[in-house]
């Protein structure tokens, strides 16, 4: 029976992460798919439900493919009932059973899992734990520690002195909608997220509810963020005082995050830098990197410390984000710097609601991706300095791009590459090899997409596969390494006049938009695919601006056709960039538009070719490469 109080809509386009996962109920190749083994499905349901319950809760939906296509199920009623009751038959203590919902004419299975106050065991199969978008095996003692520190001992769990009437109703409504719980009352939502406790006929709020939703800000003297701008690379006092303090950002946490994000964004410079394999104007620090540092400071700080707040310092050469309180539990700086996933949260209630509000990502890979984004922008690795009193993240803006990197970039010449393909090749050049896990950390791709990309580079003779099962990796091919050697030899012939990047400024020299003249340019007139090279016409851009976040297909598809009707091939990734959508959300539309003869594929016999691209079907089109 469907749970009428649950709204599935926010999850149809959501990426898998700490609080959400989707699974197909079919297996096999396209065209020959069959229903999955029912016991395997029940085992998976038991594992995922327990893992979510042992963390901060979550939602599991069965009947959706990795590309977000709704495929539903073909289970008989007895098999369906068995799966729905798995949480009560396979777990101890029992968890809420699942329910079915109709989506696009198909029936999907939904499990809305609350965070458990005690460890949840899969009977006979241990204690799984949700960590990012993965489920790992843990222990009862470890989960008990997490529950005690995060859900019982933390400052956010303590009783607040304010009441439900003091909370921002619009902000609560936004959180409920983002969580798929718009049918709940504010009181029910607060109870479900463990932001309040039932006391008789009323509720008593916890501090987390006050921090997140207090209409006029929480009763905490330093819950906001202070921002300082330093003229230079060091702070001075007295006659040489060079520090400007901006107005303090205060209010409830969503207000603080929104305001400080806007202020910092307005202060960051936009130098010309290498983005992908081309030069273009870019932010001083990658947006994801500094936003992740800021969100971590807000979400993970120790709110028991009332004498100090979060501070952001903008120097000419770096940004420092300092958060009160040391690392939580037994977490260490060394553990963070391994860039492996860790699950230890001081404020799990706050984090879950920030995800509901769309202010935090639900990926569980924030720190590894922060490091990857900085490396991808040719900037130094972030510094994380943790003491008993504070945690400081430092981002530096001085380029690390060296002469060897430039030789490799120049040696690529006119090779047509997407941003992520370029990331993969440069990382391989710098580190001698790359594997699926490292590419995922660099790019944010899922496992399947990363595999397609690496295989595509292999098929183009740019990477060579070294097959070792789960330990497989790729290296540059002899063809590509030969091109690098040839370019280096040409450079040595040119002598000391070879230009390098301007030192220490974080900017590029006046010739930054071009490579050496005898190697080919990467300018905007190359005719390559990519949102950074091909500008849309004003009328197409205006049509895109009017689409909104979830446009109807009758409005979206004419825009897709218009983009593809430019006499050149357009990849799904490029279309996603133009439209501001996730690539997976477009694949179904593109497939149907090919079937209806509106579009044609560059590789018609290989629909999943890694270099697949599309263009509009018209008569007497001039040929383009």
How much is the mean pLDDT over the chain?
83
Q: Would you state the pLDDT for residue 406?
A: 77
Q: Is 66 exposed, middle or buried (0-12, 13-18, 19+ CB in 10 A)?
A: middle
Residue 526, in any domain of the structure: no
Are 185 and 127 found together in one domain? Answer: no
Which carries the bigger pLDDT value, residue 489 or residue 569? 569
Which carries the bigger pLDDT value, residue 523 or residue 48? 48
Q: Would you state the pLDDT for residue 519?
A: 33
Q: Would you state the pLDDT for residue 142?
A: 83
- What is the CATH number for 547? 1.10.10
Which carries the bigger pLDDT value, residue 506 or residue 436? 436
Residue 144, in any domain of the structure: no
Residue 504, in any domain of the structure: no
Of 213, 237, 261, the last residue of a domain is 213
With 90 as the cut, is the pLDDT of residue 62 above it? yes
Residue 1, in any domain of the structure: no
What gap in Å lies between CA 169 and CA 62, rounded to an integer? Answer: 33
Q: Would you state the pLDDT for residue 444?
A: 75
Domains in the chain: how many in total? Answer: 5
Are 134 and 159 found together in one domain? Answer: no
With 90 as the cut, is the pLDDT of residue 64 above it? yes
Q: Is 43 exposed, middle or buried (0-12, 13-18, 19+ CB in 10 A)?
A: middle
Are 203 and 229 found together in one domain? Answer: no
**pLDDT tens readout for residues 405-449:** 878 887 887 778 887 888 899 889 988 999 998 888 777 788 888
What gap in Å lies between CA 301 and CA 107, rounded to an integer? Answer: 42
**pLDDT tens readout for residues 169-199:** 999 999 999 999 999 999 999 999 999 988 8
Are 282 and 161 found together in one domain? Answer: no
Cβ partners under 8 Å of residue 257, min gap 6? 294, 295, 298, 354, 359
Residue 623, in any domain of the structure: no
- What is the CATH number for 100? 3.30.950.30
Residue 156's Cβ-side half-sphere holds a number of Cα atoms within 13 Å equal to 28
- What is the CATH number for 477? 1.10.10.10
Mean pLDDT of 473-497: 75
pLDDT band at 365; cut points 50, 70, 90: low
Q: Which two tokens stand for residue 536?
A: 């849309």
With 70 as the cut, is the pLDDT of residue 152 above it? no
Of 396, 415, 446, the last residue of a domain is 396
Locate all alpha helices (DSSP H) within 217-274, ordered by sequence: 253-267
Which carries the bigger pLDDT value, residue 353 or residue 31? 353
Are 367 and 235 found together in one domain? Answer: yes
CA distance between the termini of the chain: 54
Residue 508, in any domain of the structure: no
Residue range of the domain that includes 263: 225-396
Q: What percent of the chain has pLDDT over 70?
A: 84
- Three-point CA angle 267, 578, 295, nearest 5°: 40
Are 417 and 454 found together in one domain? Answer: yes
Strands (E), 186-317: 196-199, 202-205, 225-230, 243-245, 272-275, 278-281, 310-314
Are 378 and 464 found together in one domain? Answer: no
With 80 as the cut, is the pLDDT of residue 549 above it? no
Q: Which two tokens stand for residue 9?
A: 């809509």
What gap in Å lies between CA 625 and CA 605, rounded to an integer? Answer: 18
pLDDT band at 402; cut points 50, 70, 90: confident
Of 139, 165, 192, the last residue of a domain is 139
Residue 301's Cβ-side half-sphere holds a number of Cα atoms within 13 Å equal to 27
Residue 522, in any domain of the structure: no
Q: Would you state the pLDDT for residue 271?
A: 73
pLDDT band at 280; cut points 50, 70, 90: low
21 bridge partner residues:
60
Q: Which two tokens stand for residue 165?
A: 């009437």
Q: Would you state the pLDDT for residue 319?
A: 97
Residue given tokens 């305001």 in the structure block: 259
- Three-point CA angle 50, 56, 60, nearest 5°: 55
Are 374 and 419 found together in one domain? Answer: no
With 80 as the cut, is the pLDDT of residue 509 above it? no
Are 349 and 408 found together in one domain? Answer: no
Mean pLDDT of 387-398: 92
Q: Would you state the pLDDT for residue 491?
A: 63
| Among 16, 5, 93, residue whose Cα is nearest residue 50 | 93
Q: Would you state the pLDDT for residue 422?
A: 86
Are 200 and 325 found together in one domain? Answer: no
Are 230 and 300 found together in one domain? Answer: yes
**pLDDT tens readout for residues 285-304:** 999 999 999 999 999 899 99
**pLDDT tens readout for residues 13-56:** 888 888 899 999 999 887 788 999 999 999 999 999 999 999 88
- What is the CATH number for 229? 3.30.565.60
Residue 31 sits at φ, ψ, to 5 deg, of: 95, -20
Residue 379 sits at φ, ψ, to 5 deg, of: -115, 155
Global pTM reads 0.62
Transcribe 465-501 into DSSP letters.
EE-BTBT-EEEE-HHHHHHHHHHHHHHHHHGGG---P
Q: What percent of the chain has pLDDT over 90?
A: 42
Q: Would you state the pLDDT for residue 576?
A: 83
Are 251 and 375 found together in one domain? Answer: yes
């Amino acid at each position: 029976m469907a749970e009428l109080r649950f709204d599935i809509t926010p999850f149809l386009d959501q990426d898998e992460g700490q609080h959400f996962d989707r699974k197909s109920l079919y297996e096999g190749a396209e065209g020959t798919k069959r229903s999955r083994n029912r016991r395997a499905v029940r085992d998976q349901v038991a594992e995922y439900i327990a893992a979510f319950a042992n963390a901060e809760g979550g939602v599991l939906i069965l009947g959706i493919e990795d590309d977000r296509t709704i495929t539903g199920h073909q289970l008989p009623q007895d098999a369906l009932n068995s799966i729905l009751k798995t949480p009560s038959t396979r777990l101890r203590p029992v968890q809420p059973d699942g329910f079915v919902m109709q989506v696009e004419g198909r029936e999907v299975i939904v499990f809305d899992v609350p965070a458990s106050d005690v460890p949840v065991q899969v009977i006979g199969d241990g204690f799984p734990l949700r960590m990012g978008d993965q489920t790992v095996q843990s222990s009862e003692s470890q989960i008990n520690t997490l529950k005690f520190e995060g859900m019982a001992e933390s400052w956010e769990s303590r009783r607040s002195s304010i009441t439900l009437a003091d909370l921002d109703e619009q902000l609560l409504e936004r959180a409920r909608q983002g969580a798929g719980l718009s049918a709940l009352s504010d009181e029910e939502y607060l109870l479900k997220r463990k932001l309040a406790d039932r006391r008789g006929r009323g509720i008593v709020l916890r501090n987390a509810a006050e921090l997140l939703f207090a209409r006029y800000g929480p009763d905490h003297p330093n819950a906001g963020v202070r921002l300082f701008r330093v003229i230079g690379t060091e702070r001075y006092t007295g006659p040489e005082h060079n520090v400007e303090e901006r107005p303090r950002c205060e209010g409830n946490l969503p207000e603080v995050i929104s305001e400080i994000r806007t202020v910092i964004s307005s202060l960051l410079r936009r130098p010309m830098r290498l983005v992908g394999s081309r030069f273009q104007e870019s932010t001083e620090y990658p947006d994801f990197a500094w936003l992740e540092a800021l969100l971590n400071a807000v979400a993970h700080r120790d709110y028991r410390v009332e004498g100090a707040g979060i501070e952001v310092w903008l120097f000419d050469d770096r940004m420092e984000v300092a958060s009160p309180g040391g690392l939580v539990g037994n977490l260490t700086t060394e553990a963070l710097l391994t860039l492996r996933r860790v699950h230890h949260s001081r404020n799990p209630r706050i984090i879950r609601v920030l995800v509901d509000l769309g202010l935090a990502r639900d990926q569980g890979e924030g720190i590894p991706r922060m490091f990857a984004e900085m490396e991808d922008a040719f900037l130094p690795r972030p510094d994380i300095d943790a003491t008993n009193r504070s945690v400081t993240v430092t981002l530096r803006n001085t380029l690390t791009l060296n002469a060897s990197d430039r030789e490799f970039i120049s040696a690529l010449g006119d090779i047509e590459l997407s941003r992520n393909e370029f990331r993969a090749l440069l990382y391989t050049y710098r580190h001698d090899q790359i594997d699926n896990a490292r590419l995922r950390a660099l790019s944010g791709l899922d496992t399947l997409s990363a595999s397609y990309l690496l295989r595509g580079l292999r098929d183009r003779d740019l990477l060579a596969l070294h097959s070792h099962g789960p330990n497989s990796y790729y290296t540059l091919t002899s063809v590509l390494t030969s091109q690098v050697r040839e370019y280096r030899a040409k450079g040595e012939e040119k002598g000391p006049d070879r230009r390098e990047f301007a030192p220490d400024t974080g900017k590029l020299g006046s010739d930054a938009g071009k490579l050496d003249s005898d190697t080919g340019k990467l300018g905007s007139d190359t005719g390559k695919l990519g949102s950074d090279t091909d500008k849309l016409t004003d009328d197409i851009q205006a049509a895109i601006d009017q689409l909104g976040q979830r446009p109807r297909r009758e409005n979206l598809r004419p825009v897709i056709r218009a983009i593809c009707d430019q006499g050149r091939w357009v990849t799904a990734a490029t279309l996603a960039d133009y439209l501001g959508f996730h690539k997976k959300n477009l694949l179904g539309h593109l497939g149907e538009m090919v079937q209806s003869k509106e579009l044609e594929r560059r590789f018609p016999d290989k629909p999943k070719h890694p270099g697949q691209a599309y263009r509009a079907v018209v008569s007497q089109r001039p040929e383009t490469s």
